A and B are shown apart, each in its own frame.
Chain A
Amino acid sequence: MHNRSSLRHSPLCVALLVVGLTACGTDSGGGTASQPTTGGALTYATPVEPDCLDPAVSARDVTALVDRNIFDSLVQQKPDGSFQPWLAERWETAADGRSYTFHLRTGVRFHDGTPLDAGAVKATLDHAVDPATESRYAAGLIAGYQGTEVVDPHTAVVRLDRPNASFLQALSAPYLGIQSPRALQGDPAGRCDKPVGSGPYRFVKWEKKVGVELSRNPDYAWPPKDAGHTGPARLDSLKITFVPEDTVRVGALTSGQVQAVASVPPGRAKTLGGTVQVLRAESPGAPYTIYFNSAPGTVLADVRVRQALRRAVDLDQLVKAVYFGQYQRAWSPLTPATPFYDDATKGAFTFDQAEANRLLDEAGWTTRDGAGYRVRDGRRLTLRWPHTADMERDQRGLIGQGVQAQARQVGIEIQYTQVDQGTIGELIGKRALDLFDVSFTRPEPDILRYFFGTDSTLEKGGGNIFGLDIPGLDKLLTGGVSTLDQAERTRLYADAQRYVVDNAISLPVYVPTSLVGVTRDVHGIEFGAGAYPLFYDAWIAR
């Protein structure tokens, strides 16, 4: 969680999930897609800039977006959550789930000419967990990594200290894209600025605050199996520019300065039209959720207060108003695009302020003070909700204000205060907060354990920031990550989702959705598993 912006996701390149929701994928050309052409340059404007282009270091979503073009992974995740070969032609999982043997494809070369071999896999993974790398995300993805054994140039065995059902998903993310071992040996200082992988585009330059420039890798011949074509990418070059202001970014698209933009404000998605169309992809992982601090001794330890809060807020209307119907309202602690998502959670409770009031009265918050807030034993019903501006996206501030205003109507005071990142870290450390909001993109249900696992407290590198200990839930989640049996996992994760909803452990708000605006002459853009666009197949009609 971290994540500042939705930080992380993992990628996979699957066009998936999304299809079917609206136009998307390859034939973005709206039916006029003719024969793909080669050449041309495409500029993609995105609001956030990477902090480092070494995928093992950075935790940002935008790093995945950029690095996916530069780095290939061992395996690729398909829309259904299963995996298919990429740089690894095939692999075997040990019976105890603690080691994986990868057989590498031949003929793959990194951009610096180094051939791909088992040593590169070892170098990449060792680099990720090396403390000197100061990895902010990749190392956590493969927690339990013990080492890689180079059996022969094309065979690598990766060992884990415990079974990990999400291991392949981790490997499929750009954060663990295979790096050139020669580049990894070079000067560590410049690594953020010189990513060297084997992907369809080569890194050219990164002008800070302006953009990253990539050019086609003419030797490329090893896309994942179900890619739209084989051989080198169709675009001569790809530029990713950084334009934080929504207005400006969209203006740049409509005025034709750029061919594609990330994060079209939902309010503008419908009104754009004309020469522009909007592609959508719902993010997998945890939706944007308000997590409740229900640890013993807190106000929210009382389930009635949690339920009351849920019922006090008209999320249907709120999400619709803020996102113009472009984003779905979320019900489950997992988004629909996540493997093992359980649709049965939908509609589990309704907006009902009368019921909320009843629940609060029942919980003993019966009197009101001068400002109209409920009071019990001389204490006001106050919930502390600190948040930071630099993690804010998607107009979440508006959601916060809406929740705050509606909670007030049933007598709950929410202190929705903006603080800086250091302060929020301290508050979390002291557990001096009642609500916390975040979303997390990763096409993997184990994300639930990250948020709710008894073992996933902040101190242990997890996202259970309140240090909740919910044995019933914990058992389901531990079970889910320890078995490779798909049916078993389906059952366990369905139970887990229902458990969270039934016990009002959190308030899922909306499903983050990638709205990518493209001009009508751009075709072939698909979405990776992290709901970011892929440019390997992209082309521009002339």
Chain B
Amino acid sequence: MTTLLTPVAATLPRARPALIAAWAVLGLLALAALWPDLLATAPPDAVDPASALAPIGPDHPFGADQLGRDVYSRVVHGARLSLLIGLGATTIAVSVGALLGVLAATAGRTADEVLMRITDVLLAFPGLLLALLVIAVLGPGPVNTTIALGLAAVPGYVRLSRGQALVVRESGYVRAAVVLGRSRAAIFFRHVLPNALPPVLVFATVDIGTALMASTSLSFLGLGPQPPTPEWGSMLAEGRDYLDSAWGLTVFPGLVVTVAVIACYVVGAHLRARFEGRTPGGR
């Protein structure tokens, strides 16, 4: 789950309809995250014990949970946290990872050696183990989950962005710039950074899906946001006991996670393909 840099290959469906659908899903999720009340039919924490476990119907499109809260509205409201955690974790991972990685590639041998050995050590942990350790220190909760997942993914990005920076540093155009007499700083900011980062960023778009999946897993384990905050993973965990009587409690949150992750993957893979198609040697 957590081990960043999902090896999801570029063979994802790139057909137009799939892409359009994926963007539509992301758009809907973004809408749910920004203005949940536009989509939701009830406040996510409106308890109504009288309609506990109400079946799927006009009042409750996805049914109602143990406290009579509307599952559909909770799923809608859950989007904000899940997306924020996915985005936030990836942002942390990319910014810290890229900074350290590019630094390692350009700051000289000693710094590179030290940074890379530390990275090796951290890469020797399964990502989730790192995330669990961070949560053990910081305690559960959405912000801490974000930090934990982000930090757990940092070593991978250090390595990735260092590799990218090295490739760029050895490239013909950086050498050409040396021959043209550009200063080190100019070369770094005008060539190395702008060319090394985009591939890392594109990778990261796919990783948002992975981070989202990992965060729901942590919530499922009870390490995510606190109730009554709606969150897909913990909703699924709570609903599991009612699988036979009220399957909507489990099925819908799980489905939304899968659909959201698919959308992230498809869009990310598309961006990656487009990006690679545009660079020399990418094809």
Pick the contact of A247: B47, B50, B66, B241 (CB < 8 A). Answer: B241
Q: How far is the CB of A372 from chain B (nearest CB, A)?
A: 11
Q: Which 4 pairs, one residue from A and one from B, show the smallest C-beta to C-beta distance?
A: A321-B52, A317-B49, A321-B49, A405-B47
Interface stretch of the complex, out of A140-148, A186-194, A415-423, A469-477? A415-423
Q: Is A397 within 8 A of B244, CB to CB?
A: no
Bits for B67-105, please: 1 = Cβ < 8 Å to A, else 0: 110000000000000000000000000000000000000
List the B residue with the shortest CB-CB distance to A397.
B227
Q: Is B228 on the interface with A (CB-CB < 8 A)?
A: yes
Q: Is the CB of B66 within 8 A of A395?
A: yes
B49/A320 in contact, CB under 8 A? yes
A268 within 8 A of B: yes
Interface of B, helix, strand, loop or mixed by DSSP: loop
A404 touches B66 (CB 8 A): no
Least Cβ–Cβ distance between B9 and chain A, in angstroms: 34
B window 114-170: CB within 8 A of A: 139-140
- Complex Cα spacing A378 to B210, Å: 45
Least CB separation from B240: chain A residue: A247
Could you say which residues of chain B place their CB within 8 Å of the CB of A295?
none
Closest to B65 in A: A398
Contact with B along A237-280 (1 / 0, CB 8 A): 00000000111000000000000000001011001000000000
Please give, as numbers and ranges, the residues of chain A lying within 8 Å of B66 by CB-CB distance.
267, 321-322, 395, 398
CA distance A274 to B242 in the complex (A): 18
- Docked-complex contact A417 and B49, CB < 8 angstroms: no
Contacts of A227 in B (CB 8 A): none
B45 at the interface (CB under 8 A from A): yes
Instruction: Find chain B residues with CB under 8 A from A404 CB.
Output: 45, 228
Q: Please tell me if the beta carbons of B242 and A402 are within 8 angstroms of each other in the complex.
A: no
B46 at the interface (CB under 8 A from A): yes
Question: Does B199 lie at the interface of the complex (its beta carbon under 8 Å from any beta carbon of A)?
Answer: no
Closest B residue by C-beta to A322: B66
| B227 adjacent to A271 (CB under 8 Å) | no
A400 within 8 A of B: yes
* Residues of chain A contacted by B68 (CB below 8 angstroms): 321
Residues of chain A with a CB closer than 8 A to B55's CB? none
User: B140 and A267: CB pair below 8 A?
Assistant: no
Contact of A271 among B67, B226, B244 (CB under 8 A): B244
Q: List, in ascending order, chain B residues with CB within 8 A of A314's CB.
A: 49
A-B contact pairs, 11 of them (CB 8 A): A246-B240, A246-B241, A267-B241, A268-B244, A318-B67, A322-B49, A322-B66, A397-B227, A400-B227, A401-B45, A402-B47
Q: Specify which of A265, A401, A418 is in contact with B67 (CB 8 Å cutoff).
A: A401
**Other 19 A-B pairs with CB < 8 A, given A271-B244, A317-B49, A405-B67:** A245-B240, A247-B241, A267-B241, A267-B242, A271-B245, A314-B49, A321-B50, A322-B49, A389-B222, A397-B238, A398-B66, A401-B227, A402-B67, A404-B45, A408-B45, A416-B226, A417-B226, A418-B226, A423-B139
Query: Which chain B residues border A268 with CB–CB below 8 Å?
Result: 241, 244-245
Instruction: Give the interface size bracket for A toward B.
Output: 20 to 34
- The digit string for A364-398, where 1 denotes a CB below 8 A from any CB of B, is 00000000000000000000000001000001011
Q: How far is the CA of A389 from the CA of B240 in the complex (A)?
A: 17
Which chain B residues in 239-260 approach chain A with CB under 8 Å?
240-245
User: Which chain A residues border B47 with CB–CB below 8 Å?
Assistant: 318, 401-402, 405-406
Number of interface residues of B (CB under 8 A): 23
| Chain B hits for A402, CB < 8 A | 47, 49, 67
Q: How far is the CA of A318 from the CA of B226 in the complex (A)?
A: 20
- Residue of B whose beta carbon sits closest to that of A318: B49
Could you tell me the distance between the alpha carbons of A381 and B7 in the complex, rounded to whole angstroms?
51
Q: Please measure, in the bound complex, the distance between the C-alpha atom of A271 and the C-alpha atom of B242, giving whole angstroms.
A: 11
CB distance from B229 to the nearest CB of A (A): 10
Chain A residues whose C-beta falls within 8 Å of the C-beta of B245 in the assembled complex:
267-268, 271
Asked whether A322 and B226 contact (CB < 8 A) given A267-B241, A314-B49, the answer is: no
Residue from B45, B47, B228, B244 whose CB has the most chain A CB atoms within 10 Å: B47
Chain A positions 309-329 with a Cβ under 8 Å from a chain B Cβ:
314, 317-318, 320-322
Interface positions, chain A 285-332, Cβ under 8 Å from B, are 314, 317-318, 320-322
Of the candidates B46, B53, B226, B243, the one whose C-beta lies within 8 Å of that of A405 is: B46
CB proximity of A517 to chain B, nearest CB, Å: 14
Q: Mark A408-441, 1 if CB is under 8 A from B, else 0.
A: 1000000011111001000000000000000000
Which residues of B have CB within 8 Å of A406?
47
Question: When chains A and B are docked, how far (Å) is the Cα of A402 from the Cα of B228?
Answer: 9
